[in-house]
Amino acid sequence: MSVLSARQIEDDMSAFLRQIYHKYLPLKIGRPSRILPQLAAADPDDFAVCAVMVSGRAHTAGECEKNFTLQSISKPFVYGMALQDHGEAFVRERVGVEPTGDAFNSMIQHDQVSEGRFNPMVNVGAVTTTSLIKGETPTARIGRLQRMFSRYVGHPVGFDAEVLNSRRRLDNQNRAIGYLMMSEGHLSADVEATVELYAHQCSVSVTCRDLAFMAATLANGGIHPLTGVRAVSSQYVCHLLSIMFSSGLYDYSGQWAYRVGIPAKSGLAGAILAVVPGQMGLAAYSPLLGRRHKTVRGVRALEEISNTYRCHSFCRPQRGLCSTISRSSTDVADIEPVFQAIHAQYRGVDHGEIYVSEPGLRYVDRRQFAICAVTTEGQSVAAGDADADFLIQSVSKLMTYGLALEDHGRDEVLKRVGVEPTGDAYNAVIKVQTASKRPHNPMVNAGGLAVASLIKGKGPAQRLNRVLAAYQRYTGRPAHLDTAAFLSERAGNDRNWAIAYLLRNFGMIEGDIGQAMDLYLQQCSVIVNSRDLAVMGATLANGGINPLTGRRALKGEYARDLLTVMHTCGMYDFAGEWACKVGIPAKSGVSGCIVGVVPGRMGIAVYSPPLDRRGNSLRGIKVFEELSRRLHLHIFQL
């Protein structure tokens, strides 16, 4: 289906929501949450779907005026209030933004707290966030929260007294979380007062229509579409949307981003809220929850809306891009001074470690530094050492994942490799999904190995040639293997062997495990330069078609999949921070390269060998942050 105009969507939406309502109303899968008696008593036949456009026009189907409580849907809105109370830097010191891949109520380890590997959508981060809300007395803080939610909804809201009293009596786990975070030095207020305030935010009473207006307010840059009242500063909207996109559905966030592709937040009452930036807010309510504590009808309804109207963040035309990045012939001339200025600004940054598989094998000049971009029209701009060669390393995982998708299809690949972000390092050994035993995503080494084992071919030589041919389609020139680098990686490869044998133990790798390992190391040992990576990025930005050759490198439907996984998982345990600060899909490699994609516009590559403690290029991260700020590249920036 082609992309519809906002007017066409508005005219069509009411009838479509009624169609969805009648389609999914007979669905009886799941049961109401048992965490509170009031939630357990919900009517399983209740079902509502609502959409509110940024124009303020509302479309409803089902019981859209039925009241329920916000529960965890309150979290992103309270996080926005904390940002406004203290500023981003202060809040980020106390609450991380990294996806965890865990359930909403998971406890947390000491190292996760000290390293900030949690986020405000899980209870640990949410309770900490609530403690940051300002107010001279507990009553004043409750009043501030109530008024904040009223601004989002567009009318005064109240609390469900029965739900509130049940939370006070039964919410011992969040009380335990409060004392844990106090012991770690992260709580900013008295534990009992914080738990009481958290109980209030979860007990706010709303309707499905109210939720859709809350979502539409975020879609409208923080301004309620009917009242015109600002609910949150525009500078924080993209932060909220980024965290909702990567973490809003907990251990289903990656699947949601992959299949639906819009920022969302769910709650145990059976509601779900989603945002199509610049266009509309969506909400659904049905108390029947599936095994991941998500509303079954609601998830299916919003997925169908997203697919029908092409709402996925990497399908629809991108908004918020700098006016200088247009399709005119002056694009490169306009942005080249920005590249040169940023290159000069960070040329002197020289700290960080250099990755070498074997000392003396390959000389790496730590001073080399390049920034390069290629547009979807084939124009290019570069600053610095754009022709310097280096190994592609983990950026290769993108191309082999795309090849595996074309070889087997999305559903078959998902049986072996998930799409959930974990917040873990690239070389984490034992992080596999508990039930399925598959690696969480294809960007970590475990997932990369599993994907390499899926590449079709009659033998190892043919499989390698297919990978190299795929590289050539992306870059437009022949790809060459650094044999010495491959042999060196092969000799010092115990950690990846440990991963491979665990995957074999779980049945995630079949066939010759040695051949799968060799192909994985070979794909990482291909020689590229910054221009190559920028063309790769531009190919993905162009829906899988190389803008220099006009040749298709990847089917368009899979280009969307690659961009989604890049956005949620491509920077490993820095993925959440990257999503907030930079806000474009990206993938890094330990050679010091980062490739980023501005969908529909261009690919950007940065090369600088010195790495931070996470294995990402130090200068590369700074450059992308500055480019995103100057050129307004963030995908959720309106």
Query: Tens digit of pLDDT for each residue in 251-281?
Result: 899 999 999 999 999 999 999 999 999 999 9
* pLDDT surpasses 50 at 42: yes
In this structure, are 302 and 353 located in the same domain? Answer: no
- 354 and 229 co-located in one domain: no
Instruction: Report which of residues 101 and 270 the model is more confident about.
Output: 270
Instruction: Classify residue 47: in a domain, yes or no.
Output: yes
Specify if 615 maps to a domain.
yes
Of 273, 308, 343, the one marking the end of a domain is 308
- Confirm if 71 and 267 have CB atoms less than 8 A apart: yes
Looking at residue 424, its pLDDT comes to 63
Who contacts 506 (Cβ-Cβ below 8 Å, separation ≥6)? 432, 437, 438
119 and 33 in a common domain: yes
> pLDDT (tens digit, 9 = 90+) per residue, 68-100?
999 999 999 999 999 999 999 999 989 989 887
pLDDT: is 178 or 201 the higher one? Answer: 201
What percent of the chain stands above pLDDT 70?
91
427: containing domain:
334-631
Q: Is residue 423 a contact partner of residue 101, using CB atoms and an 8 Å limit?
A: yes
Residues with Cβ < 8 Å from 344, sequence gap 6 or more?
none
Count of domains observed in the chain: 2
For residues 34 and 41, the answer to whether their CB atoms sit within 8 Å is no
Same domain, 40 and 74: yes
Least confident of 24-38, 135-149, 356-370, 621-635: 356-370
Last residue of a domain, one of 308, 323, 343: 308
Residues 476-522 have pLDDT tens digits of 999 999 999 999 989 888 888 998 898 888 888 878 899 999 999 99
Q: Determine phi and psi for 379, rounding to 5 degrees.
A: -75, 150
The answer as to whether 316 is a domain residue is no
Six-digit token string for 170:
């039964």
- Most confident range (mean pLDDT) of 133-137, 171-175, 363-367, 487-491 is 133-137
Domain contains 343: yes
451 in the same domain as 351: yes
In a domain, 514, yes or no: yes
Q: What is the mean pLDDT of the chain?
A: 91
Burial of 352 (0-12, 13-18, 19+ CB in 10 A): middle
Q: What is the pLDDT of residues 580-594, one digit of tens each?
A: 999 999 999 999 999
Q: Is residue 322 part of a domain?
A: no
Q: Which of 291, 308, 325 is the last residue of a domain?
A: 308
pLDDT at residue 391, as a whole number: 96
What lies within 8 Å, CB to CB, of 124 at 6+ separation is 106, 107, 108, 113, 118, 177, 180, 181
pLDDT of residue 184: 84
Q: Are 100 and 423 in contact (CB under 8 A)?
A: yes
Q: How confident is the model at residue 59 (pLDDT cuts 50, 70, 90)?
A: very high
Token pair listed for 283: 């909400």
Q: Are residues 475 and 560 in the same domain?
A: yes
**CA angle, residues 626, 620, 238, in degrees to nearest 5:** 45
Taking alpha carbons only, the member of 60, 61, 57 closest to residue 6 is 57
What's the pLDDT at 508? 87
Parallel, antiparallel or unpaired: strands 586-589 and 480-481: unpaired
Q: Residues for the chain: how many in total? A: 638
Q: What is the mean pLDDT of residues 551-555?
A: 97
DSSP state of 539: H
Q: Write out pLDDT tens, residues 316-337.
A: 554 433 333 343 333 677 899 9
Residues 14 and 158 occupy one common structural domain: yes
Same-domain status, 249 and 372: no
Whole-structure pTM value: 0.92
Which pLDDT score, from 0 to 100, does residue 562 have? 97
Structure-token match 């301004």, residue found: 223
The yes-or-no verdict on residue 114 having pLDDT over 50 is: yes
| pLDDT at 572 (0 to 100) | 84
**138-153 vs 74-86: helix axis angle to the nearest 10?**
110
Confidence of residue 132 (pLDDT cuts 50, 70, 90): very high
pLDDT tens profile 409-447: 999 999 999 999 876 655 555 555 455 578 889 999 999
In a domain, 317, yes or no: no
* Whether residue 206 has pLDDT greater than 60: yes
* Judgement on whether residues 274 and 342 belong to the same structural domain of the protein: no
Residues 6+ apart with CB under 8 A from 32: 39, 40, 41, 42, 44, 270, 287, 288, 289
Residues 357 and 393 in one domain: yes
Q: Which whole-number Å values give the CA distances from 565 to 302, 375, 445, in the listed order?
A: 20, 21, 14
pLDDT of residue 329: 36
pLDDT of residue 427: 54
Tell me, yes or no, whether 300 and 379 share the same domain.
Answer: no
Cα separation of 246 and 579, whole Å? 8
Residue 557 within any structural domain of the chain: yes
**CATH number of the domain where residue 118 is located:** 3.40.710.10
Q: What tens digit of pLDDT does each residue of 212-248 get?
A: 999 999 999 999 999 999 999 999 999 999 999 999 9
pLDDT, residue 321, reads 34
Model confidence at 8, in pLDDT bands (50, 70, 90)?
confident
Identify whether residues 517 and 403 lie together within a single domain.
Answer: yes
